[in-house]
Amino acid sequence: MESEPAGEAGVARVSVLLPYPLLGAFDYARPETLALEPGDIVLVPLNRRAEVGVVWDAPVGLPPDLAAPPSRPVADAKLKPVAALLDIPRMPESLRRFVDWVAGYTLSPPGLVLAMALRTNASAPIPPTTGWVRSGSNSTTARLTPARQRVQQALVDGLPRNTAELARMAAVGTGVVRSMAEAGLLMEVVIETPSAFRRPDPDHQDPVLSPDQERTAEKLRNLVHARRFQAALLDGVTGSGKTETYLEAVAACLAEGRQALVLLPEIALSAQWLQRFVRRFGVEPAVWHSDLGSKRRRITWRAVAGGEAQVVVGARSALFLPFPDLGLVIVDEEHETAFKQEDGVTYHARDMAVVRARLSAAPVVLVSATPSLETLANVESGRYEHLSLAVRHGGASLPTVETIDLRDHPPERGRFLSPAMIEAALDAMRRGEQAMLFLNRRGYAPLTLCRTCGHRIQCPNCTAWLVEHRARRQLACHHCGHTEAVPTHCPSCNAENSLTPIGPGVERITEEARETFPDARILVMASDTLPGPNAATEAVRKIADREVDLIIGTQIVAKGWHFPGLTLVGVVDADLGLAGGDLRAAERTVQLLHQVAGRAGRAEAPGRVLLQTYNPTHPVMQALIANDFATFMQKEAAQRRPGNWPPYGRLAALIVSADTAEAADAAAQALGRTAPRGEGLQVLGPAPAPLAILRGRHRRRLLLRTRREIAVQPILRSWLHGLQLARSVQVDVDIDPVSF
């Protein structure tokens, strides 16, 4: 399709979408000298500034339910001309249609979604990329610490690496690299092609697959070869070789000369994954996440657009990269809630990955040992193919799971580890194996209470308690980031020495463990104690090299790590995720605990998992003990089906927020009065939102629940259309909310 035909006055119009939360594309005049095609990246005037935009075409194949109302046409005489066509690869049609689709589905302005696809200063020039090689001179007298030796080791192949890459490969901080450069141990050179964009070699090192893995890999290769959309679930117990197997699909995609995208829930934690990729394909893939530097971002964006980056591993935002020839999408740990983006455009990357694949006529593989109920329902209905790996690789057995009933085996007063747990950890460590204590809570204690007056210290901005972080001597809100010094006197009754920490966080468990296991080498893994990927890489290396006996961590330790020496996993509070009214709490707890349990016994020595609980008969504990995830999920399904709860019905949340409780209530009630009615749909609420006050905003929630066949978008659009809101009031739409 070309730009629009000339209007009456003979002006050729072209529609340009700008990366701002405006409604739709704007019309501009096309200068005769510029031939423009949809997807071209152009500079246009907007409010006396030149802005980067994309020549947009009318959505093709967008379901009418998702189409936004058309914008008003502008008279020819008022049109401003396009200023310039930028020398940047055109945005492919599949990405343009994806932007339209995401905007329509999430009820977001298309420009806001486009901003995610242009999240790079696309027009800026790219300075030459440099990297480090070993300096030839041996005259330097600089000291070679073990860290420096690892850096030198990482450069033995003679390929230049940039600072971040080198630090990651050598598991050192970037400061080590810089100090080596200063000491003359490294030399800077200009890199022709950044190593991340060298072609991965599908035959670099072929794995020897088990017959089960090979059968599954063959099915995955066939999906890739079919060159059409198909979704598949790859499930299989932890350690069964799912990664190993899906890398064969990536190899097939590379052999076809097409691009592959692998989404991981937390890219910062992907060091082990990258190592495996390098082992399999000889080079690193392109990496994409929100912490990339702006230069790296620009280079990567263009390498994807130009097709040099053949494999991208990334966080959810990688879905918006301009792949010209996407041949495979993989979503690893597809059940993870980290795939849901909660700010700005609220979308679920797992679901949008399926859409992205469909619009690119490519297969998508969702991977998990504990698939979400959504995905299982799609398998059951026949929409998704089902592939599975039944046994752990190399004959490793699954860990045995037992509960410790805290009513019968209480910890000592003021402590949190039951004697049975302590004994089991000691046993493992005496055998020279590793143990892990898991508690999904950062900080020292989740609540600080005054013993004199009963006052609980709350966040001034949120309906949440402040969490003590003893190492930092702070109380912190985990929702808004507010921090304050730990007070010496009760803020309410002014009593001195009366404030007491209640309940454990991972810091407190560490304190207890240091006293209980004085000889153990302890490593703490929590997102706030391991800032950044290099710290995580170093922690993982220490564990793999057996420099650690006891690992204590939050959900960061549950990720797909492979720790061959780890045989005991102790869950300090297995009931933690089950409190509260969220219908999905049980599903999420099973997924998380199964994932943690899966870290144990991945090599020869069998693994053991102990769950400290007050509810040993709870279905979640029973499912984990029996390792019977399927039956558990069937029961979950049976509970959700009758009420049309997801995935058997559709759900959207409206979050109404305002400066004051009164304004929030008034707006929520007004929405309640105009709520849609009809067969197969229901509006629940208004009610206080799960965090009734967040960052000082008072929040109410309404839920729209419909039968599956009913699309919620047109209903919401007409409900919200023409809504008159007070100035301080905001309404946010969350389609498919993750908690309900």
Catalog residues that contact ligand ADP under the rule CB under 6 A: 207-210, 213, 236, 238-244, 393, 560, 562
CB of 602 to ligand ADP, least distance (A): 6
Of 12, 267, 462, 710, the residue at the interface with Zn ion (CB under 5 A) is 462
DSSP 3-state of 448: strand
Residue 238 contact, options ligand ADP, Zn ion, none, Cβ 5-8 Å cut-off depending on partner type: ligand ADP
Comparing CB distances to ligand ADP, the nearer of 156 and 208 is 208
- Write the binding mask 319 to 358 for Zn ion: x where contact by CB under 5 A, - elsewhere: ----------------------------------------
Residue 236 contact, options Zn ion, ligand ADP, none, Cβ 5-8 Å cut-off depending on partner type: ligand ADP
Residue 479 contact, options Zn ion, ligand ADP, none, Cβ 5-8 Å cut-off depending on partner type: Zn ion
**Are 713 and 66 a contacting pair, CB within 8 Å?**
yes
In total, the chain counts a number of residues equal to: 740
Comparing CB distances to Zn ion, the nearer of 603 and 691 is 691
Residue 400 contact, options Zn ion, ligand ADP, none, Cβ 5-8 Å cut-off depending on partner type: none
CB of 215 to Zn ion, least distance (A): 51
Q: Is the dihedral angle over the CA atoms 476, 477, 483, 489 positive or is it negative? A: negative
- According to DSSP, the residues that pair with 219 across neighbouring strands are none
**Are 366 and 232 a contacting pair, CB within 8 Å?**
yes
Instruction: Say how far apart CA 27 and CA 50 lie, in whole Å.
Output: 15
Comparing CB distances to Zn ion, the nearer of 691 and 720 is 691
DSSP 3-state of 470: coil
CB of 622 to ligand ADP, least distance (A): 23
Residues of this chain, 666-705, that bind Zn ion according to CB under 5 A: none
Residue 244 contact, options Zn ion, ligand ADP, none, Cβ 5-8 Å cut-off depending on partner type: ligand ADP
Question: With CB under 5 A as the contact rule, which of the stretches 165-173, 234-242, 453-461, 585-593 interacts with Zn ion?
Answer: 453-461
Beta sheet of 311-314, edge-to-edge order: 286-288, 311-314, 259-263, 326-332, 363-368, 230-236, 385-389
Instruction: State the residue for tokens 């040992």.
Output: 369
Token output for 543: 């564990």
Comparing CB distances to Zn ion, the nearer of 99 and 477 is 477
Comparing CB distances to Zn ion, the nearer of 353 and 480 is 480
CB of 512 to ligand ADP, least distance (A): 30
Residue 480 contact, options ligand ADP, Zn ion, none, Cβ 5-8 Å cut-off depending on partner type: Zn ion
163-170 vs 146-154: helix crossing angle, rounded to 10: 120
Comparing CB distances to ligand ADP, the nearer of 239 and 411 is 239
Token output for 524: 């703490």
Of 135, 461, 463, 474, the residue at the interface with Zn ion (CB under 5 A) is 461
**Whether the bond into 202 is cis, omega within 30 of 0:** no
Q: Is 493 labelled as part of a ligand binding site?
A: yes
Task: Give me the phi and psi of 298, to 5 degrees please.
Answer: -65, -45
Q: How many helices and strands (H and E) does the chain possess? A: 19, 31
Q: 664 Cβ partners below 8 Å, 6+ apart? A: 656, 657, 658, 697, 698, 699, 700, 729
Comparing CB distances to ligand ADP, the nearer of 210 and 317 is 210
CB of 472 to Zn ion, least distance (A): 16
**Are 305 and 89 a contacting pair, CB within 8 Å?**
yes
Instruction: Say how far apart CA 320 and CA 111 lie, in whole Å.
Output: 13
**Are 242 and 395 a contacting pair, CB within 8 Å?**
no
Instruction: State the residue for tokens 């399709």.
Output: 1
Token output for 210: 């088990």
DSSP 3-state of 329: strand
CB of 244 to ligand ADP, least distance (A): 4
Instruction: Say how far apart CA 259 and CA 252 lie, in whole Å.
Output: 10
CB of 557 to ligand ADP, least distance (A): 14
Comparing CB distances to Zn ion, the nearer of 376 and 694 is 694
Residue 461 contact, options ligand ADP, Zn ion, none, Cβ 5-8 Å cut-off depending on partner type: Zn ion
CB of 210 to ligand ADP, least distance (A): 6
Instruction: Say how far apart CA 278 and CA 552 lie, in whole Å.
Output: 29
Q: Is 253 labelled as part of a ligand binding site?
A: no
Comparing CB distances to ligand ADP, the nearer of 340 and 393 is 393
CB of 333 to ligand ADP, least distance (A): 9
Residue 239 contact, options Zn ion, ligand ADP, none, Cβ 5-8 Å cut-off depending on partner type: ligand ADP
CB of 237 to ligand ADP, least distance (A): 7
How many residues of this chain interact with Zn ion, rule: CB under 5 A?
A: 7
Residue 209 contact, options Zn ion, ligand ADP, none, Cβ 5-8 Å cut-off depending on partner type: ligand ADP
Are β-strands 311-314 and 286-288 bridged in parallel, bridged antiparallel, or unpaired? parallel
Q: Please tell me the number of Cα atoms within 13 Å of 553 on its side-chain side.
A: 25
Which amino acid is present at 706? T
Q: Please tell me the number of Cα atoms within 13 Å of 321 on its side-chain side.
A: 36
**Are 667 and 697 a contacting pair, CB within 8 Å?**
no
C-alpha distance from residue 533 to each of 292, 436, 536, 540 (Å): 12, 21, 5, 10
Residue 586 contact, options ligand ADP, Zn ion, none, Cβ 5-8 Å cut-off depending on partner type: none
Measured from each CB, the residue nearest to ligand ADP is 241
Residue 251 contact, options Zn ion, ligand ADP, none, Cβ 5-8 Å cut-off depending on partner type: none
CB of 491 to Zn ion, least distance (A): 16
What's the gap between Cα 417 and its chain centre?
31
Residue 307 contact, options ligand ADP, Zn ion, none, Cβ 5-8 Å cut-off depending on partner type: none
- Write the binding mask 470 to 489 for Zn ion: x where contact by CB under 5 A, - elsewhere: -------x-xx-x-------
Q: 476 Cβ partners below 8 Å, 6+ apart? A: 443, 466, 467, 469, 482, 483
CB of 170 to Zn ion, least distance (A): 39
Residue 459 interacts with Zn ion (CB under 5 A)?
yes
Comparing CB distances to ligand ADP, the nearer of 396 and 664 is 396
Token output for 570: 């102790």
Instruction: Say how far apart CA 257 and CA 280 lie, in whole Å.
Output: 17
Please, where are the H alpha helices in 525-584?
533-544
Residue 440 contact, options Zn ion, ligand ADP, none, Cβ 5-8 Å cut-off depending on partner type: none
Comparing CB distances to Zn ion, the nearer of 572 and 655 is 655
CB of 288 to ligand ADP, least distance (A): 21
Name the site residues for Zn ion (rule: CB under 5 A): 459, 461-462, 477, 479-480, 482
Binding residues for Zn(2+) are 450, 453, 459, 462, 477, 480, 490, 493
Binding residues are 450, 453, 459, 462, 477, 480, 490, 493
